[in-house]
Amino acid sequence: LAKTTQPISMDSYEGQEVNITCSHNNIATNDYITWYQQFPSQGPRFIIQGYKTKVTNEVASLFIPADRKSSTLSLPRVSLSDTAVYYCLVYNQGGKLIFGQGTELSVKP
């Protein structure tokens, strides 16, 4: 399981684009990059997953450079309800999945 590093916290304002970068220098060939979101008092939920280049869904975009040693979660035009903790995981199957501390995003009015 590749070790990941991401900022502990970030602040933003409503309507701004937020980019959270995760470093995973020892990512393996078969690993995928997956991001989860956790609101207070709830379990984490899946946001987006990718292997290379760019993935976009209705919630976010995920940018992965060619060397795959990092990835950036992009949240367009955040709102107060996007205040949450965001976790970056790198893995290719189930097993001992370590979430780490995540990035605590605070969106202000």
35 contributes a contact to another protein by CB under 8 A: no
| Cα dihedral 94/45/75/55 (nearest 10) | 40
**Any idea which residue has 């940018």 for tokens?**
63
- For the record, the structure tokens of 3 come out as 């070790």
Segment interacting with another protein (CB under 8 A) among 10-18, 21-29, 75-83, 98-106: 98-106
76 contributes a contact to another protein by CB under 8 A: no
42 contributes a contact to another protein by CB under 8 A: yes
Residues that bind another protein (CB under 8 A): 30, 32, 34, 36, 41-46, 49, 51, 85, 87, 91-102
